[in-house]
Amino acid sequence: MKKVISFLLITLMTLYLFGCRNEDKFNEEILIKSEFVQTELTDDFSYDIYEDYVEIVEYKGSEKEIKLPEKFQDKKIKSIGDYAFKNCNNLVSVKFSSSIIRIGQYAFSECNNLGKVIFNNELIKISNNAFYKCPKLNNITIPSGVKYIGHLAFYDCENLEKISVPDTVSDIGAGAFKFTKWLENKNEEFVFAGDNVLVAYKGDKTEVTVPENTKQISAFYDCYDITNINFNKGLESIGEMAFANCGQIREIILPDGLIKINNSAFAWCGNLEKIVLPSTLKQISDTAFSDCSSIGKITIPKNVKIIGDRIFQRCENLKEIIFENPKLEIKYKLFGNENKSVVIISEDNSAISQYCKDNNYNFKNV
């Protein structure tokens, strides 16, 4: 029951925050922007053909052991599409070809008999929920080319006991290894994977001091009893949904050296009243502070270059946002359809003032 409730909470939260949109915006980082050409069908596969690569969008075969093809129509197959092998219960073993660099969301989820996965060294990204609830998996070796493992990627792979994650993996989403034997067998208070990514907190303290060697935090999703977090100086990023639904935290002071805040990192922190962002911060990703209904004021430091979509949606008590960099170009909405009363403060005759004018937001000259 605990597994079901935890999964439903994080899934509903994801849908609530992001709607039904996929990761296309973020896949541009690893897949060349390429025009869609057409869909092609074979006996076993459905392919989406792009100008520069091919994506497997559905497996229709019934083989127990498969080796994924490297090319189709002389183009490299670079991506396994979202849901492509979901519920393929005949599948026992899969070997990846050298051309694949991305595994999509839910790509192999709920493959009840999948016990062996051999990744290729060229793989870069394992997306959200990619191997969710594959109960026969017991041993996974992540290749050294992988940089990103999405939230819930191996969630509830209940017999997954051995996981090897190289230090090239610097970005891991919340709950990636939750309800696996690997995590359950860990006795330490703080559990790390990859390049010093804190993936789980197994303690019971209400005030937590993050270990000094931590580079990314992805560990505190739904830790409702935690009231205070003391961050380490070497921290570089806050992972996706890392502190989502930490409802008792009232103040966050992020350390100098932090570069990136990932999607929904502090979403649904309903009692969070104050957050201090460091001057080193460069990126705030989608819905980072969504539903932080108690925040009244925030300053965006001058070195921030990227602002994601709806980072302050449903922050109903937010009254003032100060942008230290008036030249910052914002490509997306700051809010949902609310927050029309908030005042945005920066220099007049700037990119920020024009953004406010274009979006009918209240602007005040600094």
Give pLDDT tens digits for 116-151: 999 999 999 999 999 999 999 999 999 999 999 999
Q: Is the pLDDT of residue 20 over 50?
A: no
Q: Which distant-in-sequence residues (6+ apart) come within 8 Å of 263 by Cβ? A: 17, 18, 240, 241, 285, 286, 287, 288, 308
User: Which phi and psi (to 5°) does residue 109 adopt?
Assistant: -65, 145
Lookup: tokens for 10: 């994080």
Give me the pLDDT at residue 2, please.
Answer: 53
Residue 338 pLDDT: 66
C-alpha closest to that of 244 among 13, 82, 73, 89: 13
Phi, psi of 59 (to 5 degrees): -105, 125
- Domains of the chain in start order, with CATH, are 35-187 (3.80.10.10), 204-366 (3.80.10.10)
* Separation CA 24–CA 4 (nearest Å): 28
Residues 6 or more apart whose CB falls under 8 angstroms from that of 123 comprise: 96, 100, 101, 102, 103, 143, 145, 146
168-194 tens-digit pLDDT = 999 999 999 999 999 999 999 999 999
Quick one: 51 exposed, middle or buried, by C-beta within 10 A (0-12, 13-18, 19+)?
exposed
Instruction: Determine the average pLDDT of the residues in 198-206.
Output: 96
The pLDDT, as a whole number, for residue 33 is: 72
**pLDDT above 70 as % of the chain:** 91
Residue-level pLDDT at 22: 41
Please give the pLDDT value at position 11. Answer: 55
Cut 0.85: pTM above it: yes
Decide which of 106 and 2 is more confident: 106
Of all residues in the chain, what percent are helix, strand and coil, respectively (each to 5)? 10, 25, 65
- 83-92, 117-126, 135-144, 328-337: which range is least confident on average? 328-337
- How many whole angstroms from its chain centre is CA 352? 27
Side-chain-facing half-sphere of 244: CA atoms under 13 Å: 28
Q: Can you list the positions of beta strands (E) in 35-189?
A: 36-41, 45-50, 54-59, 65-67, 71-72, 75-80, 93-95, 102-103, 116-118, 125-126, 139-141, 148-149, 162-164, 171-172
pLDDT-based confidence at 23, cuts 50/70/90? Answer: very low
Phi, psi dihedrals of residue 48, rounded to the nearest 5° = -100, 125
- For residue 15, which phi and psi values (nearest 5 degrees)? -65, -40
Give the tens place of pLDDT for each residue, 277-327. 999 999 999 999 999 999 999 999 999 999 999 999 999 999 999 999 999
Query: Is a pLDDT exceeding 80 seen at residue 263?
Result: yes
- Write out the two tokens for 263: 């999607």
CA torsion 216-219-225-230 (nearest 10°) is: -20
Q: What is the pLDDT of residues 204-222, one digit of tens each?
A: 999 999 999 999 999 999 8
pLDDT over threshold 70, residue 154:
yes
**Three-state secondary structure call for residue 14:** helix
Among candidates 233, 262, 101, 105, which has minimal Cα distance to 171? 262
Give the chain's mean pLDDT: 92
Q: What's the gap between Cα 58 and its chain centre?
A: 24
Categorize the per-residue pLDDT at 345 as very low, low, confident or very high, splitting at 50, 70 and 90: very high
Helix, coil or strand: residue 45: strand
**pLDDT recorded at residue 21:** 42
| Residue 28: pLDDT over 70 | no
pLDDT band at 341 (very low <50, low <70, confident <90, very high): confident
